[in-house]
Each structure stands twice: as C-alpha cells, then as structure tokens.
Structure 1
Amino acid sequence: MKEIEGSLEARIAARASASEDNVRDVFATYGLPLVSTPARPRALRLHRLRVAGKRTGAVAPGPFDSTVPFTDGVTALVASNFRGKTSVLELVTWCLRGTPRELQGGVRRWLSALDLDVVVAGQPLGFRLDLADGEIVSALVLAGPDVAQLARTRVPVPARSIVALLRAASPASFTEQVQALMLDRLDLQPLVSSVQGNSTQTHGWAAYYGAIYLPAGGDKVLLGDQAMAGLPGRLLQVFLDLPATAALARVKTAWDVRATESYTRVATAEAFTEARRGERERVEADLTQARTRLAALGPAAGGNEESLTELAEQAVALARAVADAQELWEELMHVYRRARAARQRDLKLLNDVRESAIARRLFHGLDPTTCPRCDQDIEEDRRQRERSSHACAVCDRPVEGDDEAPQQVIAETEDQLGASAEAERAAKDALERAEAELARLTAHLAAAQERLRRAQPAAQLPALVAARESVLRYEGALSVLPEAAAAVADPVETMTLNVLKSAAKVLEEDSREGGTALFAALNEQIAELGRRFGIVSLESVEIDRAGRLRITKDGSARDWFSKQSAGERLRLRIAVVVALLRVGAAHGVSTHPGLLLIDSPKAEEVQDLDAHTLLRELAELARENRLQVVITTADPELAHDVLSGESIIEAKDGSPLW
C-alpha cells in the first residue's frame, strides 16, 4: 500500500485553498476526526445460551431451563420445523443486537430468564435478561475475567472482578445501551447518511448485525440486510478496514446537508430579490399611470391646473390635520374625564377620612373596585357596611385597630385632593387649547374646500383629489421599497463547503489507494469460495465499493448478484464474509467479527448434495479462518454426515430444542 505523504489537514487545506486552522475548525464543528487510527480486533464468539421459563401450548408444556453450548467452528441446531431452531438465533440476536429480529410473540411470553455468554474483541461478557409478558423488566451486561466464571453468576461479583457494564429496566433502554456497547467494543462507528440533502440518518449496530445474521436467500442485498443509503458498500469498506471509511461517510453527509442548506438560502435570497424587483416595477408602472391621470385632469380646469393642484394639496393636508386634531382632542377629553373622576374620588375620600375612623385606618391600603380573585365588582352595600360597621369591603371581616394620627391622614388626603384638582385643571386647559386648534383647522379646511368648489366644478374635484392621492401613495410606496441587493456569498460558508468537499475528495483518494490491493484479493477469494460452496460454473466475480457483486459464469456475459438464484445468493453471501476474514488475516486489517448465523440453508433451493458440500466446506473454512457459524437444519443426516457430535445440538423425537 502506497504511503500517503503529509498530514490529513495539510492535504485538505491545500486542495481547499484554506488554512490548516480552517480545516481543524470545520472538522471540530462537525465532530469529525482528523486522524485515521487502526481498527482494533473485533472478533465475536458465542459460548453459552441459557433459556428459562414456562412453555404453554400442546408441545411439551410446563417449566423449562435449557442451556445451549456453542463450539468453535460450526454448531448445527437440529430439530423438526417449529421446534425452536430459529428462536435460538433470535434469542442470541435479542441479547447481541438489543432487540430480536422476528421472534414470535408466543415464544417471548414463555420466557422468564435469558442468559448469553460471549467474548467480544477478547472481553468476556454475560448478558442477563429478566422478562415478563414478553418484555424486559431488568437487564445486565456483566464483564469478567473469563466466560467460565461468568456462567456461574447472574449478578456482579466484585470479589471475582465480575462487574456490570450496563443496567436497564426497559426494552428501550436495553436496546440503546447494547447498541452503544457493541459499537464501542467492536471499534465500529455509526454510519451517517443524508436524507434528501436536508437531514441526516444514522445507522448503528443494527445495520452491522445484518452482516452477522444473514438474511434469507430471497433477499437481494449482498452484505447486511438493508439496501438503503448505500449501506452494503459502507459495511464492505468498514470490514475491509479502508482508511477513514466512517469519517468519509460523515464528511460526505455533512457536505451534502450543508450544500443543500446553502443552495436553499441562495435560492431564497434570489427569489426575494426577483420578487422585490417585480414589485418595484409594478409600483413604478402604477405611479406612471397615476401621474398621467393627474396631468389629464389639469386642462379640464380651464388652464388653472397649477392653482387647482395647490388647492387640492392644501385641502388634503388640512383634512389630515383636522383628523389628527380631532384624534388629539378625543385623547385629551379622555384624559380630562379621568382627571375629573380622580379629583371626585379624592374629594369623596377626604370626606370619608374626615368622618370615619375606619376610612383613616384603611387609607394606606388597597382600594380595589373588583375582587382580586374572581374579578367581580365590589357592591356598594359592602362599601356602606365598611363605613357603618367597620367590615372590610373585600373580605367582609371586621377592621380593628386604633385610629392613629387622624390629622396626618386628613392632611395627606387634602394634599392628594389638591394634586388631583391641579391635574384636572391642567387637563382642562389642554383640552380647551385642542378645541381651539380643532376649530381653527376646521375653519381653514372649510375655506379651502369652498375655494376648490369655486375654482372647479364639483364633479371634477373628487377625481382630482383621488388622482393626487394616488400619485402620493405610489411615491410613498417606492420610497419604502428600495432595490433589493444581490445576494452576497458568505465567506465562512464558502470556506466551510470548500473544506468539506475537499476533505471528501482526499478521503476518497485515500480509501481508493488503500483498497486497490484488498479488492483484488477479495475478488479472488470470493470466486474460489463460491466454487468450493458448489457454484461449479463460477469463473470470476467483481465486487465494487458500493457492495455490488457482478458474476461471470460459464463464459457468458456478466450478471449481478441479485439475478442469481436464492441458493447461489446465500452461498455468495457466506463466501463474501469468509473472503473478508481471509483478506483481513493476509493484510493485517480488522474485518468482519467472524460470527455467522444461518437459518435453514436447505430452504433456499439448496439441494441435498449442494447442502452437504456447503456445510462441509464451511466447517473446513471455519477451522482455517477463525470463523464461528451457527446453522439450523431440520435434516439430521446432513449434520451427522458432516459434523462431529460435539458440534451438533439435536432435539430428539420431535421434542423442542429447548
């Protein structure tokens, strides 16, 4: 593999014509890594599954507590149909994936306890699930020094270095925590993709698990169990440990979303500018028409168009001034009335405090007109009782206390009355001045209107006034409708997009450079394994970075993986996983976790002879390539012809497997 010169940020900065600080800032903003660290080993091995509960129904009803051991290499689960083979895979999946894929509801409700012991990247882990009515009520994941010690406990034992890595009390919590745990322990990153350029979608551990629990042969996805968002290609590149595969996906997604947002902003700004331009053009056209109408009215006035215009302007201005003066007068009238009411209240209050000790005691308190709780008016009879029987007008309780400093209260009330009387006088003066000004303007308006009537026939005056007002209205509209400035590119936005786009190019080049030899070796291994699995006519294959496989058979034209039969697709899927392990071992890179769950391969158009060949070669390859396979079958002869007894878990005489 060619050594890449220069740091990642330096190469991105050179391509983007930006500084290395700019690159670091953009990557920090999006939480993107600027270094490619080698992946850790990510082997995943099953050791023991324990299932306990109470079975209902016609087949073997009653309590059960069964243990299923898993061997290295191939473990075959053998039982008649509907006797628990597939459910073993689903129970393993429930623990490892955080949620089962297709576990029947009736089977779930049988369970009370589910344990799974595994080794994840060299770390022994024990999954301990307590269940009721088909759902998790409590769950632990234990870590210990070895699986043998884990198998003897369902709770943490600190004295033996057995500790809890996670605890959950609900299915949702268990799913979320397990997925995060498995990604961390297997050194896998979430796969991020954009959705229609305006949002992102994150695919986590469940997407990777699809490459462990192989989908049915009828499914046309080569790797994993989802075709969306280019996931087969993403998984392939991760399992080939290509440089910065996860970072590349995140950079592309960030650029896609940011570019879409930028394009939307620019398009919106351009649309606004265009709309503003069109609006100004319409107003300018309307103004031209209004001026033309106003000019056309001038000659009809007998050559006095200038005097008519001036008179019309004066009349319009005076009408507006009269309207403003009328509005001011009304406002001042309200002020005067409030001031008069305040003076009258203060006069009444003065009389009350002179005559009533209770009024003096309540003088400094609140004087509400309505109840502060229910907003109902306080009735006059309550206020009468307050003065006569000393009962509070609000709460109706007696008001007690000494009548202290009566002269001081009376003096304060007199001062308050004086202030309100002065405010009333000032309000009245202002009102009288407004009345005089309103009368003056009204007289001037009447005179101007009379001059207009004398200068022009009454029938033409409304048209002249309307035309003048139209001109003024359109001139005013133009004054507040300036030309919209053209959109100016944001330099920070431009720099960010350039950095992200350049980073995607650099990372793509690194990935392509690092993957050339790996893909060539992968193609050779897939073709060899496919032939060993019984596709004797297979000549060559070519897998691309999108996770698509093109096959050449019998010297004919190449065809895609999806066009093969269900049995051939199953064998090619297995071949891809084994090939990944072989290429990874040869090139010292971390690849697939090396665990395969295969449900009933003979159901996928695999005939007896082909099934024997497939299982025999798979067992041999498992021993050679650090691969663990759990396979289910309803054919005991198939398992016993190929595998040794310790590798077979078999239900007898139609009984359940567990």
Structure 2
Amino acid sequence: MTTTFASKVAQKSGRSLEVVRAVLSDRHIVDAPTPAVSRQLRLKALKFSGEKQVHHTVEPFSFEWAPEQQGVNVIASEGNFVGKSSILQTMLWAVRGEPKALTATVQGWIKHVLAEFQAGDRHVRVEFDVDDGIPRGAIEFLGADGEALHSMPFLTADMFKSHMNSVMLDALGLEPIATSREVASLEKTVMYADGWAAYTGAFLFDSDSNALIGEHVGNDLAQRLLQVFLGIPWATTLFQARAAKRVTEALVQSRKRRLGQLGDRSVEDLQTRLAEIERQILDGSAQQAALAQLEAARKRYEELSESASMLKASATVLNAEVVAGTEELNDKKRALLEIEEEMAASRFFGRLSPTCCPRCTRAFDKRRIENEKTSGDCSVCLTHLDQEVQVDYEALKEGMAKEVSKLEKLLGSVTTKAQEVGTEFDQTRRDLEAAALEVSRLAASGTAQEEQKLRLEAARIEGMLEAVSKLVQSDNGEEADLVVLDAAVDVAKELVEEAAEAVLKRSGDLICSLVQRLGMVDVEKVVLKRNASVEVHKGGSISFFTRLSPGERLRVRIATVMALLQAAQQFGAGRHPGFLIIDSPAKEEMADANVEEMLEALAELSRSVQIQLFVAFKGTERALKHFPEDHCLLAHEGELLW
C-alpha cells in the first residue's frame, strides 16, 4: 500500500497510518495507480462437429476454420438459417467457458469442439466433447512447437467455466472486478467478483445487448467494465473499497438487527435482571405474589357471583312482565279487530234492500216491504227494528286503539329493559366463568408454579446473555473499520475522478471521430461519462445513448470499443484485448446504405487498429466488395456454412 493513498485515507478518517494499512490489507484493498498494459486475444482456429437431426434424418457435420488474426473476418450468406450465428456462438462458448446464446437445438447437435487462441503470450487450446449437454475435456497450454506443456482437465460445465476464468484473467492481465451482492439464503451481503464471463460481454455486439459496453443494462457492471477497459488509474482500488464497505455495512447492520431482536438489552442489563430473579426465588417474594393473586381472584369471583344472581332475578321478573304484557296486547288487538268487523258489517247490511229470500230466492210479497216501512218489522225475518238504538262504533274503535297504543309503548319499554338486563347477565356469566377458571388455575398451581416461571425466565435470559455475548465477541471492530473504509472510498473516488477527466475527454473525442466514420456524419461532439453513459451532440441538441435509434446505438457501441483500442495504441492506457464480434448489424434497424457505410469504415479501421473482428451479415457480394476473399467465410445461394 503506497504511503500516498494510505496516508490520505488516514488523514481523512482521523485514524493512524498503521490502523489504516491494517484495515486495507485485511479487506484486500490494493492501490492501483497504474493499470496493467493491454494484452491481445486472438482466435487462431475453430473446429466443431456432430450430428444434425432434421425431420427424423441424422446427418453428420463438421466445421473447420482458421480466421485471420488481424483485421475483419466476415461470415456472410445469401439467406438466413445457414449457421452464421451458430459459428459465432460456438466460438464464444470455447472462449468464455460457457455458452451465451447458442440455441438448445444446435448445442444438442454439437458433439466435439476444438479452439485455439493466443491470449497475451500464451498459446491456449480448448478441446472438449459434449455428452447430454455437459462439456468434458481439457484446457492446454501449448509450446512453440504446438506440444502441450500443461493441461487442465474438466468434467462439468462449472469446472470448465472456472478454469477458463482463471486462465484468461491471468493470461490477459485482467483482475476480477470486485463488487458485493446480497445472498437471500444467508441473509447477508458478501464480497463478489465479476470474472471472465463479464469481460466477454464487451466482446459481442448483437440485438440482445444494448448497454454501452457489456451486455447488461441497469446495473453498475457496465461502468466498471468501462473504467477497467479505459485503464483509469485507481478504478480497481475504488471497486475493492466500495465492495468492502458494503459488506462491512451489511455486517454491522445485521449485528444491530439481531441485537434489536434480543430487545436491544446490554449484557449488563441482562445480568442485573438475572440477579433480581435469583433473589426473588431465594427470598420467597414469588410465593407472596402468588398468594396475593389468588386472593384477588377469589374476591373478584365472589363479586361477579353476587352480580350474576341479582341480574338473573331481575331478568326473570322482566321476562314475565313481557309475556303478560304480550298476552294482554294481543287480547286488545283482537277486540279492536272485532269492533272494526261489526262496524263494517253494520254499514254494509244496513244499506241492503232485499226483494227475495237469500236462501231460496223466492220473491217477497210486496205487502211485506210496505209493512216494513209502516210498522218497522224486518221484511226478511219479521223482527221489529228499534230505530232509536244506535251503536257508536267509531267511539268504540278510537277508545280501543288508544289502549292498544299505550300498551305497545309500555311493552316496548319493558322488552328493551329485559334485553339490556339479559345482555348484562350473559357478560357477567362469562366473566364469572373466566374468574372461576383463574381461581382454579391459581389454586392448582400454587406458589411452586410462580417459582417455576421465574426459573424459566432466568433460563431465557441466560440464553439471551449467551447470544448477546457471541455477537459482542464476533464484533471485530467492523463499525470502527467503517470509518476507514468510508474514507478509502472517498479518497479512491477523488483519485479516479481526477485521473478520469483527461482519459474520458480523450476517449470522447476518439468516439466522435469514429462514429462519424461509421456513418453518423452529423455528430458534432461525444461526451463519455464514467458511469458508462454518453451524450451525443448533433443538430444543435443533445441525445443520450438510450434515446438513440438501435442502429445509432450499435455504431456508438462499436466506436466506443474502437476508441478503447486506439487509446491503448496511442497512449498505452486502454486494456481491451481487441477481440470483437458483431452479429447481424442489419437487425438493428439499419438501412442498407448505413450497413455499407459501417462495413466500409470497419474495413478502413481494421488497417489502423490492432483488432480481430468477426462480423456476420447477409450478402456475399457485399462481403467481397469490402473485404479480401481470404478474410471471408461465405455461403452462396442454397449453401450451408456447416
């Protein structure tokens, strides 16, 4: 650890230099003021073979290619589905140590793969067989005569990926990109490093990857890749410090959370409470408390029993009054109904003037009807009608209705009171039952159970004491270390920002020149930012990367990587290995004219930039128009590439 970086952290954190160095060393934070020199990656040969299964027909196939190691290698065809993308994806499988977007169908067809490539000063051969989708083979380091000097066998996909990660990072002088992530199953944050597979995301340009660099949008991997490939001094130190800080913060928060779950009680508080419980057990205060609880419970039971008796008696009387009142009300209502019926009958029959017998319908003698008028004898039954006796049905009805109304009000009042008393009695009875159970429980448990409760609480506190003590013992001073790590992140960030300003300005200018050569002639200025975003100034306005058209985004991405390579050549700063793949640029909604511009520019750039570029597209004539035939792998009309 250089004195400059460590001393700046010590000054900012207020800690001694020895403490700062110890914390940085313990967290594996190294200073990286000067990034490593770029090393090239070149594919020398690719072979694969297997059996196709099409319409229940099995056909063996084999493919072999030795691409040019400098410039553009073209894979072109007149039609689709001839194997262009499969070649690129098989190539990536061998280089990455795991497939990226190779279809399950093609992956099932392939039985054997061999790839040779130059990684820095190492000649590496990867060869494996595929059985049920599992690669089994070896990674070999070759001497100048092509003989294997060292072999690293693998039997599973995970072993293959792990071996390629260590081999390629070491060969190309790239370090794992430190970061952190939450592990839900462990409920903790751990240190983590994006390895070789993450770097290879910056090699491929296709319709599935739209980040400025790499293949993932929406996380910080793109900006970490950009800063590493740009060769920004102190970037690695910043990533390591930031990741260590996050892990330490998570550890401190986890310890605080667990202490909170234990009631946020200190060891001293728990010890004091434990001593108090032991004293209560010894002096018998628990027994006295138990007796007092039992006496209070008995007293409450007696009070509730007396109240229940009184309420029951009141409820009985009120319910009897309700029954009697209901019967009387019903009698009054029946009398009122009879009055109304007599009143209606009198009115109806009084208006009748019969002329015949209602039974046999024999007509009356006219003299009977005349006699009723003079003598007052009924013409039907010959009964004498007393005209002076009149019944006042209206008065009878009004009087009876008043009695019914009065009785209804009285009965309603008594019924409401009876319901209230009944509800109170039910609640008192439930309280009485609960009180009886409490008395029974206390009487049965006695003072022994109260003492047992104290002993159980004592055991619980002893367990909490053990847990809290372990948490305290596991505290290795992380909270104090956070002060140093905070300062380390701040210092590293300042150093990165200071170093990045010139690098980003220079790279922005290179990108601007390159996108113009790739067909975006109206671009006036490109501003590259450390968070892997760009501002494209054109037509008097500013466009951000995500708002560009798909074709424009593709060209800006290609120009960005080309700028990294040019920067490496001109200033010795970039660290990209110069291995690129562009799969079907026409998919990015680019017009044919724009594709032509791009291919022409790529052909020109390949003559001045140290690069091995693979590009796949439709059009064999287009390929030969821009690139020499020995750089082209072509499938003419009706042909397949493998």
Common topology (TM > 0.5): yes
Please tell me whether residue 547 in structure 1 is matched to residue 529 in structure 2.
Answer: no
Query: Corresponding residue for 1:50?
Result: 47
Please tell me whether residue 564 in structure 1 is matched to residue 555 in structure 2.
Answer: no
Write out the 4+ residue segments of structure 1 that deviate beyond 6 Å after TM superposition.
275-280, 290-293, 295-298, 462-491
* Shift in Å, 1:259: 1.1
Go from structure 1 to structure 2 and tell me whether the alpha carbon gap of 1:535 and 1:471 turns closer, same or farther (over 3 Å shift).
same
| Paired letter, 1:538 | V
* Shift in Å, 1:172: 2.6
Structure 2, unmatched stretches of 5+, are: 183-187, 297-438
Aligned 8 A contact 1:530 1:538 in 2: yes
* Shift in Å, 1:591: 1.9
Whole-Å separation in 2 of the counterparts to 1:532 and 1:222: 18
| Paired letter, 2:65 | T
Aligned 8 A contact 1:60 1:656 in 2: no
Whole-Å separation in 1 of the counterparts to 2:634 and 2:458: 90
Please tell me whether residue 69 in structure 1 is matched to residue 67 in structure 2.
Answer: yes
C-alpha deviations, 1:357-383, integer Å up to 9, x for none? xxxxxxxxxxxxxxxxxxxxxxxxxxx
Aligned 8 A contact 1:110 1:134 in 2: no
Query: Corresponding residue for 1:28?
Result: 25
Give the match's secondary structure for 2:606: helix
Please tell me whether residue 606 in structure 1 is matched to residue 612 in structure 2.
Answer: no
Give the match's secondary structure for 2:220: helix
Query: Corresponding residue for 1:180?
Result: 166
Whole-Å separation in 2 of the counterparts to 1:492 and 1:623: 57
Query: Corresponding residue for 1:585?
Result: 569
Query: Corresponding residue for 1:632?
Result: 616
Whole-Å separation in 2 of the counterparts to 1:22 and 1:602: 58
Percent identity over the alignment is 27
Aligned 8 A contact 2:290 2:447 in 1: no
* Shift in Å, 1:563: 1.7
Go from structure 1 to structure 2 and tell me whether the alpha carbon gap of 1:122 and 1:295 turns closer, same or farther (over 3 Å shift).
closer
* Shift in Å, 1:626: 0.8
C-alpha deviations, 1:297-338, integer Å up to 9, x for none? 89xxxxxxxxxxxxxxxxxxxxxxxxxxxxxxxxxxxxxxxx
Q: 1:506 aligns with which of 480, 491, 497?
A: 491
Query: 1:257-268 maps to which residues of 2 (within 5 A)?
Result: 257-268=247-258
C-alpha deviations, 1:161-196, integer Å up to 9, x for none? x41342223333222101211111111122232224
Query: Corresponding residue for 2:193?
Result: 202
Aligned 8 A contact 2:211 2:222 in 1: yes
* Shift in Å, 1:208: 0.6
Go from structure 1 to structure 2 and tell me whether the alpha carbon gap of 1:9 and 1:654 turns closer, same or farther (over 3 Å shift).
same
* Shift in Å, 1:538: 2.2
* Shift in Å, 1:70: 2.7
* Shift in Å, 1:473: 9.1
Query: Corresponding residue for 2:345?
Result: none
Structure 1, unmatched stretches of 5+, are: 151-156, 299-459
C-alpha deviations, 1:582-621, integer Å up to 9, x for none? 2233322242111110101112111111111111111211
Please tell me whether residue 255 in structure 1 is matched to residue 255 in structure 2.
Answer: no
Compare 60-69 and 269-278 and name the one that shifted more.
269-278
Whole-Å separation in 2 of the counterparts to 1:649 and 1:559: 37
Whole-Å separation in 2 of the counterparts to 1:60 and 1:531: 49
Give the match's secondary structure for 1:7: helix
| Paired letter, 2:561 | V
Q: 2:202 aligns with which of 183, 197, 211?
A: 211
Query: Corresponding residue for 1:141?
Result: 140
Whole-Å separation in 2 of the counterparts to 1:507 and 1:493: 20
Go from structure 1 to structure 2 and tell me whether the alpha carbon gap of 1:513 and 1:653 turns closer, same or farther (over 3 Å shift).
same
Go from structure 1 to structure 2 and tell me whether the alpha carbon gap of 1:296 and 1:121 turns closer, same or farther (over 3 Å shift).
closer
Query: Corresponding residue for 1:526?
Result: 511
Aligned 8 A contact 1:222 1:232 in 2: yes
Go from structure 1 to structure 2 and tell me whether the alpha carbon gap of 1:633 and 1:478 turns closer, same or farther (over 3 Å shift).
closer
Query: 1:253-402 maps to which residues of 2 (within 5 A)?
Result: 253-270=243-260, 272-273=262-263, 294=292
Whole-Å separation in 1 of the counterparts to 2:130 and 2:509: 47
C-alpha deviations, 1:504-527, integer Å up to 9, x for none? 112112211111100111111222
* Shift in Å, 1:63: 4.4
* Shift in Å, 1:10: 2.3
Go from structure 1 to structure 2 and tell me whether the alpha carbon gap of 1:30 and 1:514 turns closer, same or farther (over 3 Å shift).
same
| Paired letter, 1:520 | K
Please tell me whether residue 96 in structure 1 is matched to residue 81 in structure 2.
Answer: no
Whole-Å separation in 1 of the counterparts to 2:221 and 2:97: 20
* Shift in Å, 1:502: 1.4
Whole-Å separation in 2 of the counterparts to 1:601 and 1:631: 8
Whole-Å separation in 2 of the counterparts to 1:50 and 1:472: 82
* Shift in Å, 1:213: 1.4
Aligned 8 A contact 1:242 1:511 in 2: yes
* Shift in Å, 1:94: 1.2
Whole-Å separation in 1 of the counterparts to 2:526 and 2:258: 48
* Shift in Å, 1:97: 0.2
Query: Corresponding residue for 1:105?
Result: 104
- Which of 1 and 2 has greater Rg? 2
Query: Corresponding residue for 1:123?
Result: 122
| Paired letter, 2:169 | L
Aligned 8 A contact 1:44 1:121 in 2: yes
| Paired letter, 1:141 | E
Q: 2:11 aligns with which of 14, 34, 53?
A: 14
Aligned 8 A contact 2:121 2:171 in 1: no
| Paired letter, 1:495 | A
Go from structure 1 to structure 2 and tell me whether the alpha carbon gap of 1:267 and 1:236 turns closer, same or farther (over 3 Å shift).
same
Give the match's secondary structure for 1:129: strand
C-alpha deviations, 1:191-240, integer Å up to 9, x for none? 23222472344321111101001232x64311101235400000000001
Aligned 8 A contact 1:621 1:627 in 2: no
Query: Corresponding residue for 1:623?
Result: 607
Aligned 8 A contact 2:212 2:532 in 1: yes
Aligned 8 A contact 1:48 1:70 in 2: no
C-alpha deviations, 1:66-125, integer Å up to 9, x for none? 334234111111123111111111121111100121223333344343222222113322
C-alpha deviations, 1:523-561, integer Å up to 9, x for none? 1122222222112332323222221223333212x3321
Go from structure 1 to structure 2 and tell me whether the alpha carbon gap of 1:623 and 1:491 turns closer, same or farther (over 3 Å shift).
same
Whole-Å separation in 2 of the counterparts to 1:603 and 1:296: 86
Give the match's secondary structure for 1:208: helix
Aligned 8 A contact 2:290 2:450 in 1: no
* Shift in Å, 1:468: 8.8
* Shift in Å, 1:627: 1.8
Whole-Å separation in 2 of the counterparts to 1:535 and 1:255: 42
Compare 18-27 and 521-530 and name the one that shifted more.
18-27
Q: 1:168 aligns with which of 127, 136, 154?
A: 154
Compare 509-518 and 218-227 and name the one that shifted more.
218-227
Go from structure 1 to structure 2 and tell me whether the alpha carbon gap of 1:564 and 1:23 turns closer, same or farther (over 3 Å shift).
same
| Paired letter, 1:566 | P
Whole-Å separation in 2 of the counterparts to 1:170 and 1:656: 31
Whole-Å separation in 1 of the counterparts to 2:102 and 2:458: 71
* Shift in Å, 1:488: 9.1
Whole-Å separation in 2 of the counterparts to 1:82 and 1:478: 74
Give the match's secondary structure for 1:656: coil
Go from structure 1 to structure 2 and tell me whether the alpha carbon gap of 1:477 and 1:165 turns closer, same or farther (over 3 Å shift).
closer
| Paired letter, 1:497 | L
Whole-Å separation in 1 of the counterparts to 2:59 and 2:579: 33
* Shift in Å, 1:292: 13
How many pairs were matched up? 478
Give the match's secondary structure for 2:204: coil
Whole-Å separation in 2 of the counterparts to 1:56 and 1:270: 62
**Structure 1 length as normaliser, TM-score?**
0.64
* Shift in Å, 1:476: 8.9
Give the match's secondary structure for 1:69: coil
Give the match's secondary structure for 1:226: coil
